[in-house]
Amino acid sequence: MMNNRIKRVVFPREHGLDFYAPLLALGVFAAITFLELLPALAGPAGVSAAVTSSAWALVPVVFTLILVWLIDYWEPEPLWLYAFAFVWGSGVSVVVGATINDFASARVLPRLLNEGATVYDISRYTASWIAPLSEEAVKGAGIILIYLVFRQYFNGPVDGIVYGALIGAGFAFTENILYFVRNYDFLAEVFTVRFLDGPLSHDTYSAMFGFCIGFAEYSKSKWALARWSIPALASAGTFHFINNDALYWEGMTYESYKFITNVPLALVATGMVFYARRYEKQAVLGGLEPYVKMGWFARHEVVMISRIRNRRQALLWAERQALRLGAPAGSGAEAMRRFQNIMLQIGHKTTRAARSGRLGDPIERASVFSLLEQAQTLRSVFTMR
């Protein structure tokens, strides 16, 4: 009789069609930017060289994806949003950034510099002063867009690091192809300089930008996003400036350059990741505490959500329990996956509301209550509760 308790399980759509409108818009924009970039990618050395260069340029991307997985595994974001970030970086950021750089090089800098300024001077100022600001601003705009449009999936500094790293990886991917096809006869040497001698570049600069933007999520000020954008751009732009300008410094050797542009950046990035991971976990678990006291969640469910290993075991357990209760195959695991995601959302929402002074806001409370009800419905798939 128990096995017939659940005849059919229907999971509602997690998003409406209007939710994907920005993704569709970006897809169209990405196609346009790709057509814009195509002559620059295939022109210098031909289509075959562009394909080979693309394969080489994928190596740093794989490296970044591994790091992103390690950073984001506690609360991974949807793959389609990973793709959104990468496409923004590889298409939109490259085209808009290059347009700004070209305009500054051709129109702005010649007027600002004295009449004796050479092409070399203009090139240096463009690379060292214009590019760090323009490129980090355009890449950062993608992070801010995700923050504003897909707020549900932007839960603090860890998510900012992840989206920033993916946008930076996309930017570096296209930029590397351009460098490779223009110097195709020296592909191995250029690859060494672009990746092996400096693996922490655009990915890390944008990750810094995202790290700062992530703290706007927990601020009481309505101007938090604008305020956090200032240190975001300043930190990303400063390290970008050092990378682009340090070789011009008096007495600088290439070995010293590699140390200056990699070691401090690696130390800052490592500290940033560890701090953000700890910050995120405390925010989620702390936000769930009130609901444990009110009986919405059991203590063992919070323990379950606190570790990836526990969550995986819970998926297997839920599937077995759901089958015993008569649910179709796969329903238990899917219900538990959604149950876990809702717990994470509630933890983030409650902490965010508490720190921003919106804990008593009727809209915020209604949103959390709706999630709590969904959690109870999902729990019924794999328990008698």
pLDDT tens per residue across span 16-73? 666 677 777 877 877 788 778 888 888 778 889 999 999 999 999 999 999 999 999 8
Provide the pLDDT for residue 1.
40
Query: Would you give the end-to-end CA distance of the chain in angstroms?
Result: 17
pTM: 0.90
Q: How many angstroms separate the CA atoms of 254 and 325, rounded?
A: 67
Q: How many angstroms separate the CA atoms of 311 and 131, rounded?
A: 44
Collapse the DSSP code of 20 into the 3-class scheme (helix H, G, I; strand E, B; otherwise coil) and give the result: helix
Collapse the DSSP code of 46 into the 3-class scheme (helix H, G, I; strand E, B; otherwise coil) and give the result: coil
Provide the pLDDT for residue 2.
45
Cite the DSSP H helix spans in 73-156: 79-87, 94-103, 109-112, 119-125, 131-149
Q: Give residue 295's region: left, alpha or beta (phi > 0; psi -120 to 50).
A: left
Contact 184, 53 (CB under 8 A): yes
- The conformation of residue 184, written as its DSSP 8-state character, comes to G
Contact 164, 211 (CB under 8 A): yes
Contact 169, 203 (CB under 8 A): yes
Low-confidence ranges of the chain (pLDDT < 50): 1-7
Provide the pLDDT for residue 4.
47
Structural domain spans, the chain: 38-246, 285-380
Q: How many angstroms separate the CA atoms of 280 and 232, rounded?
A: 19
Contact 311, 357 (CB under 8 A): no
Provide the pLDDT for residue 125.
94
Provide the pLDDT for residue 44.
78
